[in-house]
Amino acid sequence: MTNPLLAEWQADFNLPPFAQINDADFAPAFEAAMQAGRAAYAAIAGNPAPPTFANTIEAMEQADHLLDRVAGVFFNLSGSDSNPAREALQRDLSPQLSAYSSEIVNNRALIDRIEALWSARDSLDLTEEQARVLMLYRRMFVRAGAALKGDEATRLTEVKSRLATLGTQFTQNLLADEREWMMSLDDLAGLPDFVIASAKAAAVERGRDGHVVTLNRSLIVPFLQFSTRRDLREKAYEAWTARGANGGTTDNRAIAAEVLALRSERASLLGYETFARYKLETEMAGTPDAVRDLLMQVWDPARAKAVADAEKLEAMLHADGHKGPLEPWDWRFYADKLRRTEHDLDEAALKPYLSLEAMIAAAFDCAHRLFGLEFRALDVPLYHPDARAWEVTRDGRHMAVFIGDYFARSSKRSGAWCSTMRSQRKLGGEVRPIVVNICNFAKGDPALLSYDDARTLFHEFGHALHQMLSDVTYGLISGTSVARDFVELPSQLYEHWLEVSEVLTKHARHVETGEAMPQDMLDRLLAAQNFDQGFATVEYIASALVDLEFHDGPPPSDPMQKQAQVLDALGLPRAIGMRHATPHFAHVFSGDGYSSGYYSYMWSEVMDADAFEAFREAGDAFDPQIAGKLERFILSAGGSDEAENLYTAFRGRMPGVEALLKGRGLAA
């Protein structure tokens, strides 16, 4: 039978034929796709005609069409709905795909054709977009080791292959720890109805009776927030922070050490002093010192706020009859009590106004008001019953298919992310994207979100808009293919619309009565936006600085010792842990994406705080002129220009850190 991954897809919108795909189809599909890619690159390299932009760069843009299609399905499924067969295949594929990539960037004939075009670029009459794509291809080849020869080239290929294998192993170890741990709950004291319902749903999903706590963030965080059983909070917190560090076959500490050593070797082979200097060269920040400067400007006021808050929380702990210092498993419990005292805000009373359905509708409505997008639910086969799809249109024109997969399950890795099964491009004919948002919300009937959950939904949808509104010719620069410290701008900026009172007034309606959130509750919610920002900022910056110090110097033989040294030098308050400790720091160790780059959320936040000010200055959160500029210069532009140029075109200048400090309530 014809492999459904390789045959022409006949479904509406050219969606993958999920109902026909079996796990056994993936390995032969990848093999066929890589064979097709090798043949395409060989034809480009062996073309007797002189190199042109069309017969070299544009031909390379289309060489991996089949591989992109197969990989777009597989890697979305391996993250969102893993199983033993997919995990085994991913382990096999990681070194194969790394080797395939090395073959391409080490192909001397391809390198020579790109260099010939680069040398003659001023006479090629290229468009600005084509000139940008040519530069990016050359830079990609050079940074991948195209200039290396002999033993150095061979060693770099070995290093990259091993890193690919280790990244996959790190991710799968983390998923295994998250999947296997649960704590039965015989005592539900303090837990509101929505947490009890989520714990019951988690038990059903795990095939257990009663109620359980799992390591899913949307369940364990509210458990730590509400449970009056301090001993159970400690047990849950310790399990949550021990992910990847439990000994045995799923322990990630040795993997982290090897990854850091190999990254350092990779940077050295390419002529860089440290991996951080190599990695940051192409980002907006440019250097490790620029990153440090930003983070430390925010660290001092954030730490001061956290220390002051800790004193209040510890006093509450002692008032409850507990001796000793405030512990990390106490913070959320007493912070929630303090929030109720200072802002009269009870999350159990708030959540019925923040149903998943209402927040999806709110995100869609804002996109319609800002960019004219319409969303129509689709009844099409998808990869899991929890996944849902919508067609996205504007003025009758098809813009994208959007897939939302919102609920936690044991087959899904933790966190939230946006990905594509197909990216936008125009070369070879208009291709519109298939965009996927993955979240890990606790399932309920109905599903109710915390305010942080709702922010996550808006955040990931901001990434989705970056993909949906992309309007470029070349896939290399499509959508979110931008500098790592720029990619979070659209997502973090979109979170601001959840703070707009008219959005909440319209969509935050009680799930049972349909009544709008009372004005006094809305006012209290918005007034509490910066509550506990000292904690949130400190736990984030601690992770970002550990990431940076891991990569900007000799690789530590013991990453856990290095982590402790960095945190001690910072003076991290004892009751606050890193947001992501090393053994479960998937951003950094599951691949190179955020390595030396976890700071990028804050770098982007400097811009998103300033960018939303443009709407405030216009006096309208939906000002059509500002929204038009946002789409033109940011959301539709992809990586067609340097990030700084794109932002300056939108805002007229680059911002300073002041807007961020003000937005987090940390300004003096």
Q: Which residues are catalytic?
A: 460
Four-CA torsion 454, 626, 464, 543, nearest 10 degrees:
-60
Between the alpha carbon of residue 479 and those of residues 170, 425, 433, 441, the distances in Å are 28, 9, 9, 26
Token duo for residue 521: 């509750």
How many angstroms separate the CA atoms of 375 and 465, rounded? Answer: 12
How many angstroms separate the CA atoms of 457 and 461, rounded? Answer: 6
Closest C-alpha among 581, 590, 546, 594 to residue 243? 581
Q: What angle do CA 191, 195, 197 make, to 5 degrees?
A: 120
- Per the CB < 8 A criterion, the answer to whether 545 and 566 are in contact is yes
How many angstroms separate the CA atoms of 432 and 471, rounded? Answer: 9
Q: What angle do CA 627, 631, 636 make, to 5 degrees?
A: 175
- Per the CB < 8 A criterion, the answer to whether 205 and 409 are in contact is yes
In eight-state DSSP terms, residue 517 is: P
How many angstroms separate the CA atoms of 339 and 335, rounded? Answer: 6
How many angstroms separate the CA atoms of 264 and 232, rounded? Answer: 41
What sign for the dihedral angle of Cα 658, 587, 438, 402? Answer: positive
Burial class (CB in 10 A: 0-12, 13-18, 19+), 6: middle
Distance of CA 216 to the CA centre of its chain: 16
- Pairing of β 434-441 and β 397-407: parallel
Burial class (CB in 10 A: 0-12, 13-18, 19+), 10: exposed
> What's phi and psi for 544, nearest 5 deg?
-65, -40
Give residue for tokens 């402790």: 564
